[in-house]
C-alpha cells in the first residue's frame, strides 16, 4: 500500500497565513460547485489553490494495488457526499500526486451532464478533467487508442447525496449496474474506491423516507437530475457560526484492487449481475480493511441500498 509522497503538514505547524490560504482554497471550491454552474489542462490541474484545498481537511490518497497503464479502468467512487470533494481533489487535480502514484493513467471524473450546458462553467470544469456521465461521453473516452484511461464514476449519484449524514456509510448501489455494463463493453477493469470522511465535512438535514420533504427531493431529482439538499458548514470567519465553509475533517480516498473484466459488446444480464456482485464484495472488503485506520469505529458497517 502506498501513500502520496507529499503529505499535508500537521495542523500544529500551520501559521495563521497558511490556515487562511487553506480556508480560501476550500471555500473557492464550494463557490465553484454552487455558482459556476476548456479542455483538459495540466496547468489547471497543478494550480497551487488545489494544494491549499488538500491541506485544509487534509485530503489523502491511498494506493492499495498497481493499476498498470496497459488497460483501461472504470473506478466506482463512493460515497457521493455533498460535493465529491475528495474525488475532485485526488482525481481532477495533482495535489496528491495522482500521476506519480499511478503513472501512465489519465483520470476522468464523470459528473452530472447538465453542468455542461452552462456557458463558461463548462469549459472551466473540463479544464481539470471532468466529463459528462453519459454513455456517449464515457464510451468515447474508453474507445481511445491510448490505453490507461481511468473513468471515475460517482455510482450513487445525486440520490446518494441525500444520505450524506456524518458518521453514516450508506450507499446507493444494489440497483446501479450501468457502470458494470460500461466496463464489460470495453473490457475495462473495475476498481472500487472509498473516500472516508466525505460525509463528515458538512452537516445535512436528512428527511425521513416517505415524508413529503423527501418526496419533494426525489421529484425534483427526476425533473432536474439532482437532489436539492439542506446542508451547512462553518463560517469563513468564525468556527462557531454556520456558513458554507466545510468543516476541516480528514478525507482519505482509498483506491482498491482492480477486478479483471472481459470485453462483451452485448453483455447478458447474468454477466452484468455476476461482476456487479464481485464489485460489491470487493468494495465491502475495502471498507472493512481500512475503516479503523481512517477513524471509523470497528463496529460500523457499510450499508448498501
Residues 129-166 pLDDT 10s? 899 999 999 999 999 999 999 999 999 988 898 889 99
Would you say the C-alpha torsion 84, 87, 88, 92 has a positive or negative sign?
negative
Span 109-122, average pLDDT: 82
Alpha helices in 36-153 (DSSP H): 42-45, 48-56, 85-91, 98-101, 121-126, 135-142
Q: 86-100, 127-141, 242-256, 259-273: lowest mean pLDDT where?
A: 127-141
pLDDT tens-digit readout, 215-256? 887 787 777 666 778 889 999 888 889 999 999 999 999 999
Higher per-residue confidence, 211 vs 299: 299
* 8 Å CB contact between 253 and 90: yes
In this structure, is the dihedral angle defined by the CA atoms of residues 182, 185, 186 and 187, taken in order, positive or negative? positive
C-alpha closest to that of 265 among 156, 184, 159, 153: 184
Residue 121 is predicted with a pLDDT of: 78
DSSP string, 163-226: G--TT--EE--TT--HHHHHHHHHTPEEEEEEEETGGGSSEE-PPPTTSHHHHHHHHHHHHHSS
Helices (H) then strands (E): counts for the chain: 11, 13
User: Nine-digit cell at 32?
Assistant: 465553484
Q: Provide the pLDDT for residue 128.
A: 80
pTM for the complete prediction? 0.86
Residue 71 has pLDDT above 60, yes or no: yes
Distance CA 72, CA 149 (A): 5
More confident residue, 41 or 298: 298
71 in Cβ contact with 93 (< 8 Å) = no
pLDDT at residue 2 in the model: 43
- Per residue in 1-41, pLDDT (tens digit) is 444 333 444 555 788 888 888 887 787 777 666 554 546 78
Amino acid at each position: 500500500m502506498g501513500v502520496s509522497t507529499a503529505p499535508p503538514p500537521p495542523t500544529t505547524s500551520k501559521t495563521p497565513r497558511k490556515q487562511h490560504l487553506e480556508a480560501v482554497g476550500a471555500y473557492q471550491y464550494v463557490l465553484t460547485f454552487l455558482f459556476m454552474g476548456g479542455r483538459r489542462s495540466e496547468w489547471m490541474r497543478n494550480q497551487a489553490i488545489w494544494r491549499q484545498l488538500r491541506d485544509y481537511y487534509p485530503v489523502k490518497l491511498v494506493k492499495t494495488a498497481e493499476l498498470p497503464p496497459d488497460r483501461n479502468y472504470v473506478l466506482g467512487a463512493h460515497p457521493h457526499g455533498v460535493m465529491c470533494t475528495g474525488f475532485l481533489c485526488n482525481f481532477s487535480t495533482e495535489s496528491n500526486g495522482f500521476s506519480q502514484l499511478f503513472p501512465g493513467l489519465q483520470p476522468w471524473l464523470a459528473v452530472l451532464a447538465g453542468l455542461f450546458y452552462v456557458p463558461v462553467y463548462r469549459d472551466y470544469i473540463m479544464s481539470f478533467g471532468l466529463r459528462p456521465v453519459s454513455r456517449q461521453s464515457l464510451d468515447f473516452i474508453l474507445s481511445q487508442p491510448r490505453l490507461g484511461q481511468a473513468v471515475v464514476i460517482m455510482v450513487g449519484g445525486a440520490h446518494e447525496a441525500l444520505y450524506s449524514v456524518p458518521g453514516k456509510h450508506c450507499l446507493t448501489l444494489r440497483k446501479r449496474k450501468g457502470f458494470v455494463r460500461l466496463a464489460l463493453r470495453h473490457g475495462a477493469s473495475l476498481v472500487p474506491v472509498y473516500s472516508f470522511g466525505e460525509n463528515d465535512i458538512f452537516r445535512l438535514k436528512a428527511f425521513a423516507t416517505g415524508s413529503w420533504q423527501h418526496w419533494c427531493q426525489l421529484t425534483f431529482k427526476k425533473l432536474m437530475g439532482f437532489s436539492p439538499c439542506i446542508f451547512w458548514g462553518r463560517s469563513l470567519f468564525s468556527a462557531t457560526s454556520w456558513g458554507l465553509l466545510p468543516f476541516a475533517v480528514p478525507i482519505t480516498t482509498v483506491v482498491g484492487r482492480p477486478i479483471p473484466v472481459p470485453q462483451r459488446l452485448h453483455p447478458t444480464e447474468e454477466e452484468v449481475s455476476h461482476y456487479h456482485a464481485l464489485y460489491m464484495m470487493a468494495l465491502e472488503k475495502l471498507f472493512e480493511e481500512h475503516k479503523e485506520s481512517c477513524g471509523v469505529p470497528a463496529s460500523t458497517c457499510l450499508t448498501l441500498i
